[in-house]
Amino acid sequence: MQIKANGIRMNYELTGKKGALVAVLSHSLSSNLLMWNPQMDALNPYFQVLRYDTRGHGGTDAPSGSYTLELLAEDLIGLLDVLGIDRVHFVGLSMGGMIGQCLGLNHPHRFKSLVLCDTASIVPAEAQPLWQERLDKVRKKGMEALSEETMERWFTPAFLRQNPPMVTLIREQILATSVAGYIGCTEAIRRLNYLDRISAIKISTLILVGEDDPGTPVSASEAMHERITGSTLVVLPSARHLSNVEQADLFNAALLKFLGDR
């Protein structure tokens, strides 16, 4: 469904158990709400599940120009306000986890818990040339120029060889991402710098990460875990960046245990 929030048209889907607490799912860069398909059967019996397409992705508007994580966070607050939803669990992966940190810092009263998956709290200076290279490629050749290298970062070679249906779906999502949306969100991500602030997050927090994630490695999750008091860290074996897809059963078990205890 589509609705106007924070000045843009946003695409979302609300499913699950009527009257239950809401769990919000926020996807990665170059993806959309379908990235969370492997979690739906696990979550729907217990929660209302709100999936949405981030600004610049899927069926949500993709204004040109640079975005900020604060803007992306305000998009979700706007969506919750329009839908009349007050306090939620938040689950974000990669870019979604960066948005989650911003929300936890700026709107803590709206969140019952945070789940930060395969994400980081800072993009170091030495990584800036890599992000610039990706932007240059996309501007010149479109999303196809990044699709295969992205898939290799997101999944282990063994999982890619198995070629399950979700691999095809994720590849299609990368290719379907608008160039304007990719550029806008990349400009937000490359300015990520919450590491010195996240100790202020007092919300119950679960940190999930694939043990083989090359983009947001276990060390980045450990740095968050050390700073967010009372947080729980779970490392999922044999998974790269999209651990919710590659190790869906383990991911779902850890997620349900955490949410069930809140």
Element (H, E) at 136: helix 128-141
pLDDT digits (tens, 9 = 90+) for 181-210: 999 999 999 999 999 999 999 999 999 999
Q: Is 261 exposed, middle or buried (0-12, 13-18, 19+ CB in 10 A)?
A: exposed
**How many residues are recorded in the chain?**
262
Round to whole Å and give the CA distance between 210 and 48: 26
Closest CA to 234 of 209, 203, 214, 202: 209
Q: What is the pLDDT of residue 84?
A: 98
Sign of CA dihedral 193, 198, 204, 205: positive
* C-alpha distances out from residue 78 to 5, 71, 86, 101, Å: 5, 10, 11, 17
CATH of the domain at 199: 3.40.50.1820
Q: Has this prediction a pTM greater than 0.85?
A: yes
In the predicted model, is pLDDT for residue 97 greater than 80? yes
- Residues 124-136 have a mean pLDDT of 96
Average pLDDT, the chain: 97
Tokens of 93: 């992966």
Q: Grade residue 262 by pLDDT with cuts at 50, 70 and 90.
A: confident
Per DSSP, the three-state class of 38 is helix
In the predicted model, is pLDDT for residue 29 greater than 90? yes
Q: Grade residue 131 by pLDDT with cuts at 50, 70 and 90.
A: very high
In the predicted model, is pLDDT for residue 253 greater than 80? yes
pLDDT digits (tens, 9 = 90+) for 35-53: 999 999 999 999 999 999 9
- Residues 92-118 have a mean pLDDT of 98
Q: Grade residue 8 by pLDDT with cuts at 50, 70 and 90.
A: very high
Q: How many CB atoms lie within 10 A of CB 180?
A: 16
DSSP class of 60: S
CB 210 within 8 A of CB 240: yes
Q: Is 144 exposed, middle or buried (0-12, 13-18, 19+ CB in 10 A)?
A: exposed
DSSP class of 29: T
Q: How many domains does the chain have?
A: 1
Amino acid letter, residue 106: N
Q: How many CB atoms lie within 10 A of CB 163?
A: 9
Domain that includes residue 75, residue range: 2-260
261 CB-near residues (< 8 Å, 6+ apart): none
Q: Grade residue 78 by pLDDT with cuts at 50, 70 and 90.
A: very high
Q: What is the pLDDT of residue 240?
A: 98
Q: What is the pLDDT of residue 99?
A: 98
pLDDT digits (tens, 9 = 90+) for 150-165: 999 999 999 999 999 9
Q: What is the pLDDT of residue 129?
A: 97
Q: What is the pLDDT of residue 135?
A: 97
In the predicted model, is pLDDT for residue 83 greater than 80? yes
In the predicted model, is pLDDT for residue 108 greater than 80? yes
